[in-house]
A and B are shown apart, each in its own frame.
Chain A
Amino acid sequence: MKQREISGINIEFDQDNYMTDSNLWNEEIAKVIAEEEGIYELTDRHFIVISFMRKEFDEKGSAPSIRKLTKESGVPIKELYQLFPSGPAKKAARIAGLKKPQGCI
């Protein structure tokens, strides 16, 4: 566990560097985490993915599978890998302020 201040809010991260409290998340925090992941510009398409993941997480308590993500968010899998290179599920979850995804699919 480590705490850091991002845009004036004290945020706690777990050992894998995921936010422990998704309620504290906002778009400014998303931008800071995205930069740490090597994504320097968050576009509308990124936010479609992020919002969908947050909605799923709120309703189901876990991040969606890649299959569900592409089918229901309308962002095709190729684009998903372009938006979040080298590991879309984990990167998008971290930027969305969610816990590390547990699924294998």
Chain B
Amino acid sequence: MENSIKKVSIIVSRGSLEEVYPALIMANGARMEGIEANLFFTFFGLDAIERKKMEHLKVATVGNPAMHIPTMIGMIPGMSAFATKKMKSEMEKLDIPPVGEFLEMIHDSGGKIYACRAAMDMFHLKKDDLCECVDEVLTIGEFYERSAGSQIIFT
């Protein structure tokens, strides 16, 4: 077990549903294996921890070739909402919780949740705008300090 992973730090830089969930699943999965986990939300990733927006993340239907629908169809109003609803119902079947509950689960299991100071300033956000599960707002330097000894994963 000498080479086993002891700690992961996952950076979430995007805010679409399909880009936030993999990071949450990986962080939760790490805790389940007894691996320490940090989540660091930056740029549009902040949407996932912003109180007003976190439960309204959407699946991108434009510029996403893996949707396998023509871009022009993806542009039709309501397409993103439809794809989001479909994906959420599939996730519920697998017992994957909504964003807020999932973050709380990760937090309660000992995972740390951080927000990026620079991105907060850029979007004019205050700590109060973020959900209660956020442990701290960090500078990049502080994030690296907290990530000592961990594998860093950028998403």
Contact = CB atoms under 8 A, between A and B. Distances in A.
B110 A81 contact: yes
| Interface magnitude class on chain B | 10 to 19
B100 to A, nearest CB: 13
Contacts of A103: 95
B36 to A, nearest CB: 10
A94 to B, nearest CB: 13
A88 B32 contact: yes
Contacts of A87: 32-34
A88 to B, nearest CB: 7
Nearest to B96: A105
A78 B110 CA distance: 8
A61 interface: no
Interface residues of A, number: 19
Given A105-B95, A105-B96, A89 B105 contact: no
A67 B95 CA distance: 7
Interface string B25-39: 100110111100000
B105 A67 contact: yes
A70 B108 CA distance: 11
Contact of B108 (A68, A77, A104, A105): A77
A16 to B, nearest CB: 13
Interface string B16-30: 000000000100110
Contacts of B29: 104-105
Contacts of B70: none
Interface in A27-84: 65-68, 70, 76-78, 80-81
9 contacts: A66-B32, A66-B109, A67-B97, A81-B109, A90-B33, A104-B29, A105-B25, A105-B94, A105-B95
Given A87-B34, A90-B33, 14 more contacts: A66-B109, A68-B95, A70-B105, A77-B108, A77-B109, A78-B108, A80-B109, A81-B108, A85-B34, A87-B33, A90-B32, A103-B95, A105-B94, A105-B95
The 10 closest A-B pairs by CB, nearest first: A86-B34, A87-B34, A77-B108, A65-B95, A78-B108, A89-B32, A81-B109, A67-B95, A87-B33, A105-B95
Interface of A: 65-68, 70, 76-78, 80-81, 85-90, 103-105
Interface of B: 25, 28-29, 31-34, 94-97, 105, 108-110
